[in-house]
Amino acid sequence: KYTKFSIFYFWINSLDQKTPIHSRSENVVIPSGEENKTASLSYDYKITPLESTSSTGTYYCEVKWNDIQKTGKGVFVLATDTGYINTSYGWEILLTLTVLFTVSSIIATALLLWKRKVLCPRKNQLNIPRQKVETQLPSASPPPPPPVYD
């Protein structure tokens, strides 16, 4: 009873329109001694090439026996005219950040070294003229405290 069946391939587009693709009839021969046992058979059908972006939809397989009809879960296919585009930019972002941090650290180091040379010149480069220090007479009040930044 179940050795003769038909397989139907179809797709449903975004407008919920059912379009048949292919159908085939099968007549499976059961070997002796395998009667009354459950069997699983695989039937593949390749759909190529997809004609256009209008081929987007869910593709189904359906099997019909005399009194039973079973439909698969379906496979959604998105057809684009540009092909597959990898949208993962992980390596590009990592490389960009690494370059930015490296350049900024080099610039910061250079600025710190330059600032240090400006504020603290070498001892042999000091050409500050000496000034006379005037002596003051001792007075009754103590001298003012030195500034905090000394």
Quick one: pLDDT at residue 126?
A: 52
Q: Quote the pLDDT of residue 66.
A: 84
Triad 34, 41, 36: Cα angle to 5° = 25
- For the four alpha carbons of 128, 129, 135 and 141, in that order, the dihedral sign comes to negative
Q: Which tens digits make up the pLDDT trace of 3-52? A: 889 999 998 888 888 888 889 998 888 888 877 888 788 888 887 766 66
